[in-house]
Structure 1
Amino acid sequence: MTQEMPYPKPLRLAGGIDVKQLRRDFLKDGHVRIEPFLHPDDANILRLALLARKDWRLVLNSGDKVFELDADMLRNMGRDHRAALDKAVLESSRYEFQYRYCSIRVPDFFEDTLCTGDVLMQFVAFLRSESVLKLVRTTIGMQQIAFADGQATRYDVGHFLTAHDDAVEGKHRHAAYVMGLTDNWRAEWGGLLLFHEGRDQLAGRRPAFNSLDLFKVPSVHSVSFVNPSAASSRLSVTGWFRSYS
């Protein structure tokens, strides 16, 4: 069961978004940050709603297999089992695609009437609104974009996502997004969104609050390891803008 605070008001874009400049920046770099993205009150409501949720699951992979562990499963896991799991994840990350983070998934398709009281679903529905889709279509130059999907993500100490490009056959992804909900984050804490732009070149984005990072698919990127020095979790909503075919 989710523990949400009701928020019946419609979400709002921030004022002053310069779409023409976003388009120029996207053409130049293949990625862009819209900051601020939401009205500040709405962004804060979304952040507080996610912090209050108790239904987070630890998500990790082993090759092509995906595992999701809820709070009860993690509590009941023995110390030796947890240590063996941590060792396997870190060893795999040296040479293979590997990730570990917490997630609350939103179904790809849902009725907007189900969003009542669920601010996360309300936000994903907002991304599917014509005002947001028009903004994204213009920014990345893809008029065929029809909807967005999404999930809440929380990177705690020891969480990471190794390099990948988001291209999955049949998903029809055109752009990925990261809606940042993390305030006062230091780059030294890790959790950076890194764009792998060449053999020896990286472009990084520090986690921020009320920012929407938008980047083309495919684009090789990763999220760096969150260090033990981090004073909080890296909180966001992530997903893709997609077409039906």
Structure 2
Amino acid sequence: MTDDSARALHAALTDEALVWRRSLDNPANVDVPVAIFESQPADEQARLIAMVHEGARDGFQYVYDRIRIGYGVSTGEAMPEALAALYTLFNNDLWLDFARTLTGDDRIARVDAMATRFGPGQFLNGHNDQHEQAGRLYAYVLNLCPRWRAEWGGLLLFKDDRGEVVEAFTPGFNVLNVFRVPQTHAVSMVTPFAGAPRLSITGWWRSHA
């Protein structure tokens, strides 16, 4: 992105009027508006987070906030102009040609997008993004963190077959990470002393809708 475009995206993601949804792995696969989640009694919130931690100890689990941009645009949901414009850009011929040239893969036909926000205590455990019916070819992360320290957590981690971390990337600003699917990766927990939320636009370059 140009610097101005990246700053416009960051401004959209930090607008207090933006309605984020709290996402965690649950049987219903339902995200809850953050305001509703945080309006629950403290003991109920603690119970849910304890459930998340129990599942994360030895398995797959996550908790973070997100906005499904592609879904919102397609259903007419109110969406900040910068986010809707980004989704349109990602699916125009110039961007798709860029993606095909970068990867050498002519199968790329569509890009989806969601905004993500990881605050203190939030994380995404190891997974490989594989979903054959969804046509996921490559995952991407457009990082939008103007200032970030590795000590704050929120690192994009890549693991080998033994579960060892072989690469780690600190969130930057206007930096694009792209990697082939399937590939095991995770986002480490953001620390309580992080100076800002970890913000990004993420999704997949797909072979079909």
TM-score normalized by the length of structure 1: 0.78
Q: CA deviation at 1:76?
A: 2.7
Task: Among all aligned residue pairs of Structure 1 and Structure 2, give the percentage whose two residues are the same amino acid.
Answer: 36
Q: Which residue of 2 aligns with 1:174?
A: 137
Q: Please say if 1:132 is aligned against 2:95.
A: yes
- Give the Cα–Cα distance (whole angstroms) in 1 for the partners of residues 196 and 114 of structure 2: 19
Q: 1:193 aligns with which of 156, 166, 178?
A: 156
Q: What are structure 1's unaligned runs of at least 5 residues?
A: 1-37
Residues 220 and 79 (structure 1), Cα distance of their counterparts in 2 relative to 1, 3 Å cut: same
Indicate if the aligned counterparts of 2:157 and 2:185 stay in contact, CA closer than 8 A.
yes
Structure 1 residues 109 and 131, CA gap change in structure 2 (3 angstroms): farther
Unaligned runs of 5+ in 2: none
CA contact (8 A) 1:105 1:152 kept: yes
Cα deviation for residue 139 of structure 1 reads: 1.5
Structure 2 counterparts to residues 23-172 of structure 1, below 5 A: 38-52=1-15, 53-62=17-26, 64-108=27-71, 110=73, 118-172=81-135
Of 168, 180, 188, 1:216 maps to 180
SS at match of 2:160: strand
By how many angstroms is 1:116 displaced?
8.6
- Given residue 70 of structure 1, which amino acid in structure 2 is its aligned partner? P
Alpha-carbon distance in structure 2 between the residues aligned to 1:168 and 1:142: 18
**RMSD of the alignment, in Å?**
2.1
Corresponding position: 1:229 with 2:193: yes
Is the contact between residue 149 and residue 241 of structure 1 (CA under 8 Å) also seen in structure 2? yes
| TM-score for both structures, normalised by structure 2 | 0.91
Residues of 2 paired with 1:72 and 1:209: CA distance? Answer: 27
